[in-house]
Amino acid sequence: MREIQYREAIREAIIEEMDRDRKVFLIGEDVGVYGGAFKAYKGLLDKYGPDRVINTPISETAIIGAGIGAALTGYRPIVEIMFIDFAALAMDQIANQAAKIHFMSGGRLNVPLVIRTQGGVGKGLATQHSQSLEAWFYHIPGLKVVMPATSYDVKGLLKTAIRDNSPVMFIEHKMTYPVKGAVPEEEYTIPFGKADIKRKGEDITIFAYSNMVLKSIEAAEELEREGISCEVVDPRTIVPLDIDEVINSVKKTGRLIIVSEACRRGSVASDISARVTERVFEYLKAPVKIVAGLDTPIPYNSTLEWASIPQKSDIIKAVKELLEEIL
Amino acid sequence: MLGISEKTKIEMLKKLIEIRRFEEKAIQLYKTGKIWGYLHPCIGQEAVPVGACHAIGIQDYVISNHRGHGHCIARGADIRKMMAELFGKSTGYCKGRGGSMHIVDMELKILGENGIVGGGIPISVGAGLSCKMEGKGNVVVCFFGDGAANNGVFHESLNMAAIFKLPVIYICENNMYAISMRSADSVSCKDVGKRNCAYGIPGHIIDGSDPVEVYNAVKKAAGHARDGRGPSLIEAKTYRFYGHHPNDPAEYREKEEVEYYTSEKDPVANFKSRLLEEKIITEERIERIESEVDKKIKGAVTFAEKSPEPELEKFLEEVEQI
Ligand SMILES: Cc1ncc(C[n+]2csc(CCOP(=O)(O)OP(=O)(O)O)c2C)c(N)n1
């Protein structure tokens, strides 16, 4: 199968959906001639024109609001927030408006809105451009939250997000854009709430999403050479969450590590740990272990930055520690 | 140029040159991988911070943004500590934790650069409040770009500063672009400086390539603020000579436009010629200044290179306490 970059997979998904449905359009900062801050929109302005590829001022609240209003009145906007850190400026529109409208209208109104954004550490961009804030959105009932790790997943899930009738936080990772992965030529979509076993294994389950999937796979490959077999489970969407797939894996291995780039306090990882423990406590051979980012703003200096989030070596260490623990 | 002493003019020229050379060095270091992350050089815009910072006193506050090296240097920041910060070293202004976008120096009353566009504008309201409550006649200068002026925080803050009559000088550096977005396309009334009407405050639209024009406007606004008459809005028309950051080829700009501004509106070259014409300075003196600045910058780079990395252990200890 051909291999394409994550950013190309995004572009393909948008093109296919914009061609399929004239109600789909793109709006955000520097999405036009600039082609997006991470160059996922190359050529789209030329292809669709400024009515469907709309460049905006730096007005995050109004950008999200524009998406909500257009969605309520029949369109399917893809709205971009350049960095997830900037979603902080638009939280009312996301959390109090987009997330609530369907419920508060007794189900009569829909907000088919995709908020494309990216987060994470990795380029020395420091504290206001490196955060992993998925827990904010995970916490708000009424939003779906997608965190694709690979080219294949990002394409299939973005197409599903565009067709979905709810507001979707579509959170990419800045380090994944240049990464290549297999993507078929034929059209496909990926349903929400369906985890993917990225690697089969027997001894231990590693639950990870977004860029941490890639790091977990690398760790699993290295551990394999030492005779340790890890199963890497990628939920792909954290809302809705395919908890059953995680549970099945844990029932088999009896051990669970949750890897999270986001800092630990109040994290998605903590919640997954609680959910799994509630459901399959009797199957666990050791306590669930969380390998998470440190509870710190992200520093600029690369050594400190590196130390702030889980690395392959941390995952390997955690796996070994957990295998030694017996309840 | 009424009211500005020859000495001040020469000081201003020195700062213009220092900012220009600092930024050129930073770009060069960025391209060779010595510094990384985001770097937003202010080459082409030097006259705004230089004019503004010379028009205020040492007790006044300065609020900066992501393109803030010029603000810091014009205010008198130590370029050794700035360079060390760009290198991520422990001797940097933020101990290597902030990088280019987060330089802060409370001794110089620089309340900080900011990675969030518009992030400093609301903070100016609080700094203005504290100046007003202290009653010592201090003011706040708040720098931001044309892009930031389109964020909601601009409206909330200017309105609040106006109703409370806070001593804040809002300086919009309109360099005609916010990344690729032209301000001509993003500012509905074309001139940010005309928005003063909405808040009932004075507005000044000035040529931001001329440090004297900037100086005079800021002096006036500062006087207004110190008299307890509230904030002013200054729009300084300027141009960034390069891309948004060193990796941006800025293909969204017309070649002719870039040529016009870089040849006609170069604040450093123009101010040099002006001081020469006015016989305030000689070619030889300028050359001496330039070589002194170069030496200073070289010294800053050496300082940064030789400085120790931040200690990982210490960082981890601090994290435990957060
Ligand atoms: C709230 C927010 N939105 C978007 C960005 C991304 N961004 C960084 S600089 C910039 C352009 C800023 O333009 P302007 O305020 O005119 O300043 P300039 O860069 O032109 O000096 C943008 C969009 C950001 N840092 N913060």
Per-residue pLDDT tens digits for A31-46: 999 999 999 999 999 9
CATH of the domain at A319: 3.40.50.920
pLDDT for A327 beyond 60: no
Q: Does residue A218 share a domain with residue A81?
A: no
Cα–Cα distance for residue pair A155/A134, rounded to 1 Å: 20
What is the residue type of A126?
A
Give me the catalytic one of A129, A172, A245, A305. A129
Q: Which of B122, B118, B87 is nearest to B103 (CA)?
A: B87
- For residue B318, being part of any structural domain is answered with no
Per-residue pLDDT tens digits for A49-83: 999 999 999 999 999 999 999 999 999 999 999 99
% of residues, chain A, pLDDT over 90: 98
Q: Does residue A219 share a domain with residue A145?
A: no
pLDDT for B1 beyond 60: no
Could you give the count of Cα atoms lying within 13 Å of A298 in the half-sphere of its Cβ? 27
Single residue among A182, A210, A234 that ends a domain in this structure: A182
Q: Does residue A250 share a domain with residue A130?
A: no
Is residue A129 annotated as part of the catalytic site, yes or no? Answer: yes
Owning domain of residue B14: 6-301
Determine the atom of ligand 1 nearest the C-alpha atom of B146: 16
CATH of the domain at A73: 3.40.50.970
Q: How far is the CA of B147 from the centre of ligand 1 (A)?
A: 6
- For residue B312, being part of any structural domain is answered with no
Q: Which of A143, A145, A151 is nearest to A170 (CA)?
A: A145
- For residue B243, being part of any structural domain is answered with yes
- For residue B257, being part of any structural domain is answered with yes
Task: Find, in chain A, the residue whose alpha carbon is nearest to that of B318.
Answer: A296
- For residue A190, being part of any structural domain is answered with no
Strands of B11-138 (E only): list them: 61-63
- For residue B317, being part of any structural domain is answered with no
For tokens 């709430």, the residue is A193
- For residue B52, being part of any structural domain is answered with yes
Q: What does the pLDDT read at residue B322?
A: 67
- For residue A236, being part of any structural domain is answered with yes
Q: Does residue A173 share a domain with residue A40?
A: yes
Single residue among A182, A211, A229 that ends a domain in this structure: A182
Per-residue confidence band for B320, with pLDDT thresholds at 50, 70 and 90: confident
| Token representation of residue A160 | 């599903």
Cα distance from A280 to chain B (closest Cα, Å)? 31
Q: What does the pLDDT read at residue B285?
A: 98
Cα–Cα distance for residue pair A97/A10, rounded to 1 Å: 26
Owning domain of residue A168: 3-182
What is the residue type of A186?
E
Is residue A261 annotated as part of the catalytic site, yes or no? Answer: no
Q: What does the pLDDT read at residue A326?
A: 64
Q: Does residue A128 share a domain with residue A208?
A: no
- For residue B77, being part of any structural domain is answered with yes
- For residue A187, being part of any structural domain is answered with no
Query: CB-CB: which of A30, A123, A126 is closest to B102?
Result: A126
CATH of the domain at B261: 3.40.50.970
pLDDT for A325 beyond 80: no
- For residue A191, being part of any structural domain is answered with no
Contacts of A295 in chain B (CB under 8 A): 319, 322
Q: Does residue A296 share a domain with residue A148?
A: no
| Total number of domains in chain B | 1
- Average pLDDT over chain B, rounded to whole? 97
Q: Cβ–Cβ of B97/A296 closer than 8 Å?
A: no
Q: Does residue A158 share a domain with residue A23?
A: yes
| Token representation of residue B320 | 């435990």
Q: A211-234 b/e with 16+ CB inside 10 Å = b?
A: bbbbbbbebbebbeeeebebbbbb
Per-residue confidence band for B292, with pLDDT thresholds at 50, 70 and 90: very high
For residues A157-170, give the mean pLDDT.
98
Q: Which of A239, A207, A201 is nearest to A221 (CA)?
A: A201
% of residues, chain B, pLDDT over 70: 99
For residues A150-154, give the mean pLDDT.
98
Contacts of A58 in chain B (CB under 8 A): 117-118, 147-148, 150-151, 178, 181, 186
For residues B167-172, give the mean pLDDT.
98
Q: What does the pLDDT read at residue A153?
A: 99
Ramachandran quadrant class, A190 (left: phi over 0; alpha: psi -120 to 50; beta: rest): beta
DSSP three-state, residue B207: strand
On whether the CB atoms of residues B99 and B88 are closer than 8 A, the answer is yes
Q: Does residue A311 share a domain with residue A234?
A: yes
Cα–Cα distance for residue pair B143/B223, rounded to 1 Å: 18
**Sign of torsion over alpha carbons B263, B269, B271, B272:** negative
Q: Does residue A300 share a domain with residue A253?
A: yes
Per-residue confidence band for B3, with pLDDT thresholds at 50, 70 and 90: confident
| Total number of domains in chain A | 2
Q: Does residue A231 share a domain with residue A152?
A: no
Single residue among A182, A209, A226 that ends a domain in this structure: A182
Q: What is the pTM of this model?
A: 0.97
Residue A240: cis peptide before it, omega within 30 degrees of 0: yes
Determine the atom of ligand 1 nearest the C-alpha atom of B178: 13
Per-residue confidence band for A208, with pLDDT thresholds at 50, 70 and 90: very high
For residues B248-263, give the mean pLDDT.
97
Q: Does residue A225 share a domain with residue A102?
A: no
Residue nearest to atom 5 of ligand 1 (CA): B117
- For residue B314, being part of any structural domain is answered with no
Q: Does residue A222 share a domain with residue A313?
A: yes
For residues A15-40, give the mean pLDDT.
97
Determine the atom of ligand 1 nearest the C-alpha atom of B174: 16
Q: Which of A90, A80, A82, A84 is nearest to A131 (CA)?
A: A84
Q: What does the pLDDT read at residue B126?
A: 98
Per-residue confidence band for B2, with pLDDT thresholds at 50, 70 and 90: low
